[in-house]
């Protein structure tokens, strides 16, 4: 009682594009009057209705009554049917919120505190995650765990009990590989090291990884590294034995706020970036902001390009926040969109702001010499100019400089982009009422901006 469930549920539901249901409102009874007949009479009505709502075929956001978890039937249904989030509020705050209300179990402070002590073990037992705000609940719904020191807790954070294959790259394996192995202990079934960078996302590297894996269908792939590692390892997980669970543990800012979030996995072809892939949502994503402390400034700038992109879409200056909040807020924004549109059939395309230009520049460079973050920064410049928007944030935070690629080759790559239709590139632009997707533009305007990005 007083945790804020009824307030948060509709806000979470709006973020996830789902129906909000307050179970108390669905009971069809006057709760104070019903309690007048005894708590057992109320629970006899609450239990079957809550279980019924938990069996809904269409996903929804339910705000459960504070005492509902006393029911073994409800606890079983939660374990089987729900992601259960405990709204973490201390008892003093909760009491101040309810003390002057007509709630039947909030008329006596001593009894209220006794109930809190009695129920708290039950709350902890059913909760898949705890939350303080809407962003925390969204992260829980997306199976994303953000915590400093999470790398040392991998054994308990990687779902299941089967063996674990760690997939990494030479640099990350040298820095964090031993910590991951120590954390996973006896569950380790080998460490596979992919080539660094985009070389990990080749058919040859993927073929080697498939052959090197030593796990069965009960096993899990843990992708420890940056975006290229998570892309390749995730695609391997999506295809190995027709699909096994995977857990990305992103170690770069770019991977933490973007590449490891949302279930998109892929490898490259010579004709373009990410042309072969699959949607394969992770069993859990483990994000440890402490891992960013080992990043060189150049790598941090790579990730800031995606942070700026996300902040522009959200209309909030995420790039100004401290690392932990910057990461949490950026992930929550993207995760909510991905949950609403898991297969990029609609609004998820907004996350491609600046990326049509970026992918073209990367392809024109043969995926050498033009990093993804640098390309995204340039793409954001072009997208903002074509949107008639101020480019100061991109210029001041990301400091992009033109890249030495052939503009004609970039234009040809843009025509082959996954989002193109009949050879016509489509763009995400920022309108007065928010992002606009699938925008086509005159070729002359696109090529003019492309020329401004190349040297």
The rounded distance, in Å, linking the Cα atoms of 310 and 329 is 9
- pLDDT for 418: 77
Residue that the structure tokens 């096994």 belong to: 244
d(CA 252, CA 147): 15
Q: Which two tokens stand for residue 69?
A: 């978890």
Residue 287 Cα distances to 146, 290, 354, angstroms: 5, 9, 25
- Taking only the tens place, the pLDDT of each residue in 139-185 is 999 999 999 999 999 999 999 999 999 999 999 999 999 999 999 99
Residue 32 pLDDT greater than 90, yes or no: no
Hey, what are 271's tokens? Answer: 């004709």
Threshold 0.85, pTM exceeds: yes
User: Looking at 103-112, 215-224, 406-415, which range is the least confident one?
Assistant: 103-112
Average pLDDT of span 96-125: 89
Crossing angle for the helix pair 407-415 and 355-364, to the nearest 10 degrees: 120
Phi, psi of 22 (to 5 degrees): -95, 115
Pairing of strands 434-439, 427-431: antiparallel
Q: What is the rounded CA–CA span in Å between residue 439 and residue 436?
A: 7
The burial of 87, by beta-carbon neighbours within 10 Å (0-12 exposed, 13-18 middle, 19 or more buried), is given as buried
Q: What is the mean pLDDT of residues 298-316?
A: 96
Q: Name all domains of the chain by residue range, CATH numbers in brackets.
A: 5-141 (3.40.50.300), 146-295 (3.40.50.1970), 296-455 (1.20.1090.10)
Confidence of residue 187 (pLDDT cuts 50, 70, 90): very high
Strand partners, 222: 166, 247
Q: Does pLDDT of 98 surpass 90?
A: no
pLDDT tens digit sequence for 367-384: 888 999 999 999 999 999
Residue 171, pLDDT score: 95
Q: Above 80 in pLDDT, residue 310?
A: yes
Share of the chain above pLDDT 90, in %: 82
Does position 102 have pLDDT exceeding 90, yes or no? no
420: pLDDT strictly greater than 90: no
């Amino acid at each position: 009682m007083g945790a804020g469930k009824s307030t948060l549920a509709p806000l979470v539901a709006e973020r996830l594009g789902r129906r909000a249901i307050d179970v108390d409102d669905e009971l069809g009874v006057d709760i104070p009057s019903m309690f007048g007949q005894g708590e057992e009479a109320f629970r006899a009505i609450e239990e079957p209705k809550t279980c019924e709502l938990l069996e809904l075929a269409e996903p929804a956001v339910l705000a459960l009554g504070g005492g509902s978890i006393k029911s073994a039937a409800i606890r079983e249904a939660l374990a089987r049917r729900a992601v259960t989030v405990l709204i973490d509020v201390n008892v003093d705050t909760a009491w101040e919120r309810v003390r002057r209300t007509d709630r039947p179990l909030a008329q006596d402070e001593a009894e209220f505190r006794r109930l809190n002590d009695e129920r708290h073990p039950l709350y902890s037992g059913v909760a898949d995650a705890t939350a303080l705000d809407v962003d925390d609940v969204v992260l829980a719904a997306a199976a994303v765990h953000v915590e400093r020191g999470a790398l040392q807790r991998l054994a308990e954070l990687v779902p299941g009990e089967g063996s674990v294959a760690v997939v990494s790259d030479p640099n990350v394996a040298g820095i964090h590989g031993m910590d991951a192995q120590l954390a996973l202990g006896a569950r380790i079934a080998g460490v596979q090291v992919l080539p660094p960078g985009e070389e990990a996302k080749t058919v040859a590297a993927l073929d080697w990884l498939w052959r090197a894996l030593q796990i069965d269908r009960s096993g899990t792939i843990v992708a420890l590294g940056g975006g290229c590692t998570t892309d390749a390892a995730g695609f391997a997980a999506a295809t190995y034995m027709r699909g096994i669970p995977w857990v990305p543990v992103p170690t770069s800012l770019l991977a933490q706020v973007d590449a490891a979030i949302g279930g998109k996995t892929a490898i490259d072809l010579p004709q373009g970036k990410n042309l072969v892939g699959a949607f394969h949502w992770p069993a859990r994503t483990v994000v440890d902001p402490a891992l960013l402390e080992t990043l060189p400034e150049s790598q941090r700038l790579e990730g800031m390009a995606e942070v700026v992109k996300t902040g522009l879409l959200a209309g909030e200056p995420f790039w100004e926040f401290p690392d932990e909040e910057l990461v949490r807020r950026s992930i929550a924004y993207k995760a909510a969109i991905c949950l609403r549109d898991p297969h990029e059939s609609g609004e998820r395309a907004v996350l491609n702001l600046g990326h049509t230009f970026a992918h073209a520049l990367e392809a024109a460079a043969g995926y050498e010499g033009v990093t993804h973050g640098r390309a995204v920064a340039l793409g954001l410049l072009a997208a903002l100019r074509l949107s008639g928007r101020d480019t100061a944030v991109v210029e001041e935070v990301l400091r992009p400089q033109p890249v030495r690629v052939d503009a004609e080759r970039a234009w040809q790559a843009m025509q082959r982009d996954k989002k193109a239709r009949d050879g016509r590139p489509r763009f995400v632009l920022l309108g007065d009422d928010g992002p606009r997707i699938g925008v086509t533009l005159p070729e002359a305007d696109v090529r003019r901006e492309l020329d401004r990005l190349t040297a």
